[in-house]
Amino acid sequence: MSKTTMGKKSSFKIQRRLGVELPGLGKAGALERKPYGPGQHGMKRKKLSDYTIRLMEKQKVRFHYGLREKQLRKLVIACKKVQSGSWVDTLVSRLESRIDNVVFRLNWAPSIAAARQMVSHGHIKLNGKKLDIASAIVKPGDEITITDKGAKSGNFLQAKARPRLSAIPAFLSIEADGEKEKAKVMAEPLAEDIPFPFEKRLVIEYYWKLK
């Protein structure tokens, strides 16, 4: 099992530990039966340090988008070099603009890991051309379509039968394209488009020394 690929059991434990549903990990319900951390001490109230609170907020981002810590730190450094706006807003915008995330947010895949697999298998087209780089960034005006093979894949059929999110974000639009669907990027994502409770300030404080 890779560092970015997790089974249902471990992904549930991650969400319980962080106390939040992370849609990108797939199937919902991690907190329904056990709305507390894993392990024999999970139900005990623990006073968390400021560092732990900041760490947990950062971990939400890392696990939802399926990134290694090294990848996330590299992206944070790059976003801090952008002169306009808050670097954490730039970070979220870039993460939401990744093609694997966009495929997931379109409800074409049941999780971001599944969306990444679809992209790597050549099931997704960007502006009419097959794309196999999951970290590729989409831009306003870009069109995303799914191949015939992709539309028959288990990931796509599962996502259409049981969408993980109830609606697509405002920065995307979707319409019928014959028997399939096609999507368009309408705008750059905003920090508010992140699909789980998120305190930007805590992530800023966690990475404040990183340059």
Same domain for 144 and 112: yes
Could you tell me if residue 58 is inside a domain?
Answer: yes
Quick one: pLDDT at residue 179?
Answer: 75
Q: List the domain range (segments joined by +) for residue 160.
A: 95-191
Neighbour order of strands in the sheet with 180-185: 129-131, 124-126, 143-146, 180-185, 172-177
65 and 116 in a common domain = no
Co-location of 116 and 53 in the same domain: no
pLDDT of residue 5: 43
- The model's pTM is 0.88
Shared-domain flag, residues 110 and 187: yes
Domain assignment of residue 144, yes or no: yes
Looking at the structure, do residues 112 and 48 belong to the same domain, yes or no?
no
- Residue 29 confidence (pLDDT): 87
Q: Give the pLDDT of residue 32.
A: 82
Contact 154, 108 (CB under 8 A): no
Query: Domain count of the chain?
Result: 2
**Residue at 89 is within a domain:** no
- Whether 180 and 199 map to the same domain: the answer is no
Do residues 181 and 150 share a domain?
A: yes
Q: Domain of 40: which CATH number?
A: 1.10.1050.10
Residue 90 within any structural domain of the chain: no
pLDDT of residue 207: 97
Question: Does residue 43 sit in the same domain as residue 66?
Answer: yes
| Tens digits of pLDDT across the chain (211 residues) | 344 445 555 888 999 999 999 999 998 888 886 655 555 444 455 788 999 999 999 999 999 999 999 999 999 999 999 988 899 999 999 999 999 999 999 999 999 999 999 999 999 999 999 999 999 999 999 999 999 999 999 999 999 999 999 999 999 999 987 778 999 999 999 999 999 999 999 999 999 999 8
Query: What is the pLDDT at residue 40?
Result: 46
